[in-house]
Amino acid sequence: MSTMNVSLPENMKKWAESQVKSGNYSNTSDYIRDLIRRDVEYTEKRAALIKALEIGEASGISDKSVEDIYKLVIADV
């Protein structure tokens, strides 16, 4: 595993340490790794949502009613 040194303002350092003291993380590195994992997941989900919105926008205006679309969505669930 690689090592990275990060400088933090005192309030952020205290916050990270408090997360460890709460028992949710074994050490500050564990906490930082969790933050990065969550950021990666968020970024991937956001990109997928943007792509879906772009596809929807490019598909044009639907001739279906909101009720028809809702029934199609519910049928797929």
Q: Is-contact 9 25, C-beta < 8 A?
A: no
pTM: 0.73
Kindly give, in sequence order, each residue whose CB lies less than 8 Å from that of residue 32, ignoring residues fewer than 6 positions away.
Answer: 6, 16
1: in domain: no
Residues 6+ apart with CB under 8 A from 31: 16, 19, 20, 24, 25
Q: What is the pLDDT of residue 75?
A: 83
Number of domains in the chain: 1
Considering the domain boundaries, does residue 3 fall inside one? Answer: no
User: If you ran DSSP here, which 8-state letter would residue 60 be given?
Assistant: -
Q: What is the pLDDT of residues 47-67, one digit of tens each?
A: 999 999 999 999 999 899 999
How high is the pLDDT of residue 39? 98
Range of the domain at 42: 10-76
Residue 1 banded pLDDT, cuts 50, 70, 90: confident
Q: Which two tokens stand for residue 18?
A: 């408090």
